[in-house]
């Protein structure tokens, strides 16, 4: 099946009323999630996982993907009007976006953010459609040793790119791998680390774990912080950027799109990294770098474009290699697995309607988002005034409801609460949840590929170094792990700063 036939198949799948409805619902909910600070796509998708069990896999993934890239759009509204990133990746937009709002140019800032997001999201989807099938064909050469090496590289990249201590990230990854081994052994059928608790015989449920780490922990953290929200009272008008604005922004939009797309392919490559890189590039290339931080429109256009291009390319390693590059992708991987799908090289061949249907939904979803953002700006501003005294109890209620109704098991509610407290303590102690979630989701794949590799070699670990691809990838993983540790030592850190 060639590219155009695949595209036709994708749009035919999307044309089904249920799929287009869930595409609209996903991007609308995603925008809302991005607008309201304190929420996030990870927590929202975790909340909705139980709901998707009653849907087919295609509408479920279409809706979940819509929430993910829709949140990228919505996050800019809060950043510009309130100077609070509604979605974590929009933190860079606060720098110049809010300054533009205070200068009476909230309209052009919101407008260029919407247009930049649309252009980047659309081009990112095109890149995903062109690159993913080629990467999947290459990945068909991978056996268990290569898959194990890739999983190790994914974990070490996430540790390397962690914003905090790499030692803490490494500890979280180790804890995640351990948690993923709880339950029945995949080869012997024996129970491991279950402590005689029947609920743990099939392992820790992904839904209560993720809901606890993201949903409950988010509620507890926001209760403690008591986020103070002050909307700058300026009239939002002139949403369409002027020709001067376009002249200053168009280069930033395309550069941000390219940067964001390629950063998003890397395991661990999140939107926050691409936005920071884009902002630094635009400031360096600008003829007036002193305007950055004072309301430069390129400082909004570049990062917002990079952010949305990343959301498309994040699906490339997930769909073709089965490797989630961040915590949200790990949750989407969990959703695919719960629906009986195995992301990897054979996904496109075995489930072409799902793959191309999801990609087609990204095209349409970006158009819907562009059309939604303008007329609903005034509505989003009103929603920003919803007090957290109302919002947070609702989030906690849906967390409890989702965990219990999954299997009608109160033990899973307790598991969610335990991981909520763990997630809250992790944030207090500056331990990032992303390495834990990624390692937890990948743990069965790591364990399975490791054991199959050793079975192939009759227990000889040399198999990982006798195969060129596996050996190369493992060496890269070791180098990254050592580098991430050494860069925090005084000598190495000083040399980098010099």
Q: Which of 162-171, 217-226, 302-311, 316-325 has the highest mean pLDDT?
A: 302-311
Q: Which long-range contacts (CB under 8 A, 24 or more apart) does 487-491 make?
A: 487/166, 488/165, 488/166, 488/167
347-392: pLDDT as tens digits: 777 888 888 888 888 888 888 888 877 677 667 666 666 666 776 7
The stretch 412-437 carries a mean pLDDT of: 84
pLDDT computed for residue 478 by the predictor:
86
Helix ranges (H only) for 270-343 are 271-285, 298-313, 315-321, 327-338
Is 468 a residue whose pLDDT tops 70? yes
SS3 content of the chain, % helix, strand, coil (to 5): 75, 0, 25
Alpha carbon of residue 441 to chain centroid: 14
The stretch 471-479 carries a mean pLDDT of: 86
Q: Of the ranges 124-133, 182-191, 222-231, which one carries the lowest mean pLDDT score?
A: 222-231
CA distance 304 to 111: 11
Mean pLDDT of the chain: 78
Structure tokens at 222: 């926001």
239-297: pLDDT as tens digits: 677 888 888 888 999 998 988 888 777 655 556 667 767 887 888 888 888 788 778 88
Among 482, 476, 487, 441, smallest CA distance to 163 is for 487
Is 494 a residue whose pLDDT tops 50? no
pLDDT computed for residue 498 by the predictor:
44
pLDDT computed for residue 350 by the predictor:
80
pLDDT computed for residue 487 by the predictor:
57
Is 47 a residue whose pLDDT tops 80? no
pLDDT computed for residue 495 by the predictor:
43
Is 9 a residue whose pLDDT tops 50? yes
Q: How far is CA 465 from CA 149, 150, 428, 454, 480, in A?
A: 10, 13, 40, 12, 17
pLDDT computed for residue 496 by the predictor:
40
Q: Which of 11-25, 286-300, 368-382, 438-452 has the highest mean pLDDT?
A: 11-25
pLDDT computed for residue 492 by the predictor:
43
Quickly state the pLDDT bin for 24 (edges 50, 70, 90): very high
CA distance 439 to 212: 16
């Amino acid at each position: 099946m060639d590219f155009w036939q695949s595209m036709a198949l994708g749009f035919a799948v999307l044309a089904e009323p249920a799929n287009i409805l869930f595409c609209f619902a996903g991007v609308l909910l995603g925008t809302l999630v991005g607008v309201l600070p304190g929420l996030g796509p990870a927590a929202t998708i975790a909340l909705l996982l139980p709901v998707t069990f009653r849907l087919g896999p295609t509408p479920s993934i279409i809706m979940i993907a819509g929430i993910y890239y829709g949140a990228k759009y919505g996050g800019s509204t809060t950043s510009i009007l309130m100077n609070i990133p509604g979605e974590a990746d929009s933190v860079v937009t606060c720098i110049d976006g809010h300054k533009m709002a205070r200068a009476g140019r909230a309209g052009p800032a919101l407008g260029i953010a919407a247009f930049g997001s649309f252009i980047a999201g659309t081009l990112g989807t095109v890149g995903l459609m062109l690159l993913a099938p080629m990467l999947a064909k290459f990945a068909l050469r991978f056996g268990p040793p290569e898959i194990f090496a890739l999983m190790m590289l994914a974990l070490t990249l996430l540790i390397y790119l962690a914003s905090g201590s790499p030692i803490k990230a490494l500890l979280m990854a180790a804890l995640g791998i351990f948690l993923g081994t709880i339950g029945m052994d995949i080869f012997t059928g024996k129970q491991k680390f279950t402590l005689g608790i029947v609920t743990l015989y099939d392992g820790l449920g992904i839904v209560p774990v993720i809901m606890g780490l993201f949903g409950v922990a988010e509620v507890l953290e926001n209760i403690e912080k008591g986020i103070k929200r002050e909307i700058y009272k300026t009239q939002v008008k002139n949403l369409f950027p002027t020709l001067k604005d376009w002249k200053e922004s168009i280069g930033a939009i395309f550069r941000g799109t390219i940067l964001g797309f390629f950063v998003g392919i890397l395991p661990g490559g999140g939107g926050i990294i691409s936005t920071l890189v884009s902002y630094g590039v635009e400031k360096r290339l600008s003829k007036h770098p002193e305007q950055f931080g004072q309301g430069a429109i390129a400082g909004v256009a570049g990062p917002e474009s990079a952010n949305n291009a990343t959301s498309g390319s994040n699906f490339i390693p997930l769909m073709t290699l089965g490797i989630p590059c961040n915590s949200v992708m790990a949750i989407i991987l969990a959703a695919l697995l719960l629906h009986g799908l195995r992301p990897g090289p054979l996904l496109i061949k075995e489930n072409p309607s799902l793959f191309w249907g999801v990609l087609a939904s990204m095209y349409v979803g970006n158009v819907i988002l562009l059309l939604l953002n303008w007329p609903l700006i005034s509505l989003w501003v009103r929603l920003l005034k919803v007090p957290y005294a109302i919002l947070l109890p609702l989030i906690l209620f849906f967390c409890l409801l989702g965990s219990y109704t999954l299997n009608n098991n109160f033990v899973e509610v307790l598991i969610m609460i335990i991981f909520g407290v763990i997630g809250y303590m992790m944030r207090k102690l500056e331990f990032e949840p992303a390495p834990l979630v990624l390692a937890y989701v990948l743990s069965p794949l790591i364990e399975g590929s490791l054991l199959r590799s050793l079975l192939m070699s009759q227990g000889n670990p040399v198999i990982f170094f006798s195969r060129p691809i596996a050996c190369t990838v493992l060496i890269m993983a070791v180098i990254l792990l050592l580098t991430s540790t050494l860069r925090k030592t005084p000598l190495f850190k000083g040399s980098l700063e010099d």
